[in-house]
Amino acid sequence: MARTLLALFAVALAAPQFGCTLDLGGGGGGGGTVDFREGYAFIRKDDRKVYVADRFDFSQVARLSTAGNARHPSLSKDGRQVVFVRAFAGDTELLTVPTTGDIAPTRLLASSATQKNLRTPVFSPDGTRIVFAFDDGVTSFLGVVNTDGSGFATVAGSATLSYAAPSFYADGSAVLAVAGSPVTGYTQLEKVVLATGAPTNVANNLGDAQAVVNRAVLSPDGTRAAFDGRTSTAANRIFVVDLATRLVTQLTDYPSDPSANDSFPCWLGNTQVTFSSDSGGNDAVYALQASAQMTSGGLQMASAIEPWYGPNP
């Protein structure tokens, strides 16, 4: 409470270096301020708008976008920008918005006849580029665009192998991506060098998962990846793969709620995996130790889906 009062007082005097005056979207939806330093960017299912919540108090959320149909937000490494996708009549567009909330979202790239269904964008570590997935016909490709909207290029994808859900390695030269088929499923993880598009297989065994559903994402130190996998029961669970040993473990399980689905994992530091789940009939964000197996719990934030945590190390 003391920190919140101090933040309010500071904003009343002058704009803070890394604070923000935002339209609060939580509770009764009143006005106020949120000093976002570290925490979640996410979507609320009821209005499909982009929000942030600082780790100091996840119950205080701030809306960054006013138009609906938003999806797949992710934070820049410094936590100052969110990139997300918005669906509109015809297809999709990529937008960025500052976590300060004082500037309206900026369109970077709109879909075209040969770049459809833009999705899962992520910032490069230096904040100058965004890599994302898109469709051309029945094939899914990886594309890259500069954060000023210039320099679009196709990175990876072919008639025989599709790519999706990129996440950056720490040096920014390559991404981890899921590979396979949008029709039969993404069943592999590959490292793709951005300069050349050259792929290297990282894992072709997903353990008890049959395919990656929405996202695979590297841990900040690059040693592990978390993904949401479809199981033999058709429910989605969170899995973690050790990229050195290629050992895959199932993180989440719900014996009393077998039809629950987990989705959109990301990392909270190097030791925790956070994700959204509809377990118990609610949409909420949870965080669990990455070393855990077949467990549940760890509630972080209610009324939230598609989370991305940052800044990370």
Quick: pLDDT tens for 110-127: 999 999 999 999 999 999
pTM score of the predicted model: 0.90
The dihedral over CA atoms of 98, 104, 106, 107, expressed in degrees to the nearest 10, equals 130
- Read off the tokens for 133: 């997935």
Mean pLDDT of the chain: 90
Report d(CA 98, CA 136) in Å as an integer: 30
pLDDT of residue 101: 83
18 — pLDDT class (breaks 50, 70, 90): very low
Residue 40 CB partners (closer than 8 Å, separation 6+):
52, 53, 58, 274, 285, 300, 301, 304, 307, 308, 309
Burial of residue 313, with CB atoms counted within 10 A of its CB: 0-12 exposed, 13-18 middle, 19 or more buried: exposed
Task: Tell whether the model's pLDDT for residue 23 goes beyond 90.
Answer: no
Helix boundaries (H) for the chain:
2-13
Asked if residues 99 and 105 have their Cβ atoms less than 8 Å apart, the reply is no
Q: Which residue has the higher pLDDT, 21 or 88?
A: 88
